[in-house]
Structure 1
Amino acid sequence: MPETDLTLLPDIQYASPDGIPLCLDVLMPKRLPNPTPAVLRIDGCPAWGPGDRSSAMLPFVNPALAQAGFLTVALSVRHSGQATFPAQLHDVQAAVSWLRSNPLDLPVDTDHIGIWGQSAGGHLAALAGLVPGSDVQAVVTISGPSDLLQPGGAMQIDRPSPVTALVGGDVSTHAEQLRAASPIAQVTADAPPFLIIHGTRDETVPYEQSERLHRALLDAGAAADLIAVDGGHHNLRPDPNARYEGRTWYDVAGEATRFFQYYLASATKCMGSPKPRSVMPAV
């Protein structure tokens, strides 16, 4: 499907907590069946800091899913300089609620909603899928932290860091907040299906973070797959300074698309499990 067959609805305000306007962008095929599964993307919040949701418009992000027939949403959330956790989770939940209430009368299947994100966005996607009362049916998390009580890489908890900024203090005073902000602490048998993707040489969020989440989900009896990007850094590339682009990212988009098609689009579910690869090369 050419990009000219897609419709973009930008800059829609979905909430204004504490007077801070939060917006989202909808990208979808011009011709959609009603209802259509929807997928939300949380991006543009590096280290839970100020960001730009426009990164979801890279061709291997929401456009890839929209071209596969999904209604997609890119959202902004409050960053840690504006509010501490759980504000960010509440913002994601508000976006899901906005989509379910459907004030624009979009052709969305409110019972088939997926969520995905990378890094801090992957962390929030995982949390949004795991907290009690979640309205999310499938989760893809890429290079996301899962256990904020386990330091490593840029995840320092005994000194100023992105993690301590998120919860408002270090482990000596905010251990409970760190635990509450950890997806792994929210895992139950009711967890939605997960696809977890992580570079094995990630210098920012250790690969072990995804291994631990994957193991916890399986131990709880949930459906979960882990794809290791062999030799990939936080950017999933062999060079940690390379741009967030390249063949690996298109491969990730392909795996995410198949995953969401299986778990959100019931017409494809009879075709069997998506059976993702267990390892992909960093390219």
Structure 2
Amino acid sequence: MNLKIFFKYIVYIFLIILSFINFGLTLLIIFILQIPVIRKSILGRLPFKLEKEPWSKKETFEYKKNLWLDVYFPKEKSEHLILFAHGGGWISGYRRQPNNVSWYRFLVSKGFIVATIDYRYGFLNEIEQLVEDLSDAYNFVKNNINVKKISLMGLSAGGHLALYFGLKHKVKLENIVSYYSPCDLLDIWKSESLFARFAVSTTLKRLPSKSKDVYKYYSPISYVEKGVVPILLVHGMKDKVVPYISSVKMYKKLRSFSNKAKLLLHPFGDHGFEFILKDEKTKSILLKTVDFLKGDGYD
């Protein structure tokens, strides 16, 4: 290798390292600006006193190379599994965060099997790869866990992936539950959250000013038609990250096709409100979520 080519490779490597450093610094700054949101998302708990381990066993599987899922089995036999996708703006989050584990405890205590996954992050991968991960996880549990019913559930970005995958790919599901998710990705640009705008533009690798078609393509609302699975949408009306109007628009479109759908709004809820608020309204929404997952309370 001659000296010119050698230095050329050195320059390329330096530029790659520099780009990662710049990205990391940008991400750190945005995270610092959003500390209250991140803190409550990671450390929050649902407003119920729950047994620490209400499951009979927990098993961990590598559902594809370097990606894992945990399956929590209730103490009584169940044939209904909830495939759960965590939030984090497509670029962060982890299946074993305390807030997510709080959800698993709650759902398992109500008699569901819960399978919770990690998926690749949007800053190093295309959004289609994140959807592929959810698809592979769905196929894994369908083929390896003995159940008759599978529901999809997700928080925020995880709810977006659940809605998009379930509606576009038309897989066999009992229902879908989505908490404070962007159903129309363009709605994020009406948000005051710098983190939300950064997260969606990083994941889609585009800004909406020149790529509205891409934003529409990956918006679950674009795939609503007659005969989709029952869908529950939950949102706080004080959400500063994802405007609640996104769920309202989705609900109206679902009902315009006479689909079974339900919209639950908390008048004082911010993003991740169920981990912060301890009021009766929050508890009622959580219990209605369980009813919906079991097939009750459909409109």
Are the structure 2 counterparts of residues 155 and 139 from structure 1 closer, same or farther at C-alpha, using a change threshold of 3 Å? farther
Match of 2:290 in 1: 257
1:71 partner amino acid: I
SS at match of 1:214: helix
Shift of 1:145: 0.2
Which residue does 2:260 correspond to in 1? 223
1:1-283 correspondence to structure 2 within 5 Å: 4=53, 6-16=55-65, 21-33=66-78, 36-43=79-86, 45-55=87-97, 58=100, 60-102=102-144, 106-109=145-148, 112-150=149-187, 151-153=189-191, 161-236=198-273, 244=276, 246-247=278-279, 250-262=283-295, 273-274=296-297
Change (3 A) 1:4 1:41: closer
Counterpart of 1:23 in structure 2: which amino acid?
A: W
Three-state SS of the structure 2 residue aligned to 1:274 is coil
Contact 1:32–1:107 at 8 Å: present in 2 too? Answer: no
Distance 1:22 1:170 in 2: 29
Deviation of 1:62 (Å): 1.6
User: Per-residue CA shift, 1:117-137, capped at 9, x if unaligned?
Assistant: 111111112112211332322
SS at match of 1:101: helix
Distance 1:37 1:161 in 2: 36
Q: Per-residue CA shift, 1:109-155, capped at 9, x if unaligned?
A: 2xx21011111111112112211332322011111001113321157
Q: TM-score, normalised by structure 2?
A: 0.75
Letter in 1 for 2:80: P
Residue 176 of structure 1: how far off its partner (Å): 2.5
The CA deviation at 1:4 is 5.0
Offset at residue 274 of structure 1 (A)? 1.8
- Taking the aligned partners of 1:56 and 1:93, their CA distance within structure 2 comes to 25
Post-superposition Cα deviations, 1:228-276, rounded to whole Å, max 9, x if no partner, equal 1011111227xxxxx64635654443122111111xxxxxxxxxx4269
Distance of 2:110 and 2:283 partners within structure 1: 13
**Aligned partner of 2:105: which letter?**
P
* Higher RCO structure, 1 or 2 (CA under 8 Å, sep 6+): 2
Which residue identity lines up with residue 259 of structure 1 in the other structure?
A: F
What residue identity is the alignment partner of 1:153?
S
Amino acid in structure 2 at the alignment position of 1:107:
N
Classify the secondary structure of the residue corresponding to 1:46. coil
Query: Secondary structure, in 3 states, of the residue corresponding to 2:150?
Result: strand
CA contact (8 A) 2:266 2:282 kept: no
Distance 1:206 1:117 in 2: 17
- SS class of match (2:127): coil
Q: CA deviation at 1:63?
A: 1.6
CA contact 1:202–1:232 (8 Å) conserved in 2: yes
Change (3 A) 1:152 1:215: same
Q: Which has the higher strand share?
A: 1
- Aligned equivalents of 2:113 and 2:283: distance in 1? 19
- Which whole-Å CA distance do the structure 1 matches of 2:155 and 2:104 have between them? 13
- Are the counterparts in 2 of residues 154 and 161 from structure 1 also a CA contact under 8 Å? no
Separation of aligned partners in 2, 1:218 and 1:275: 11
Q: Secondary structure of the residue that 1:86 maps to in structure 2?
A: helix
- 4+ aligned runs moved over 6 Å, structure 1: none
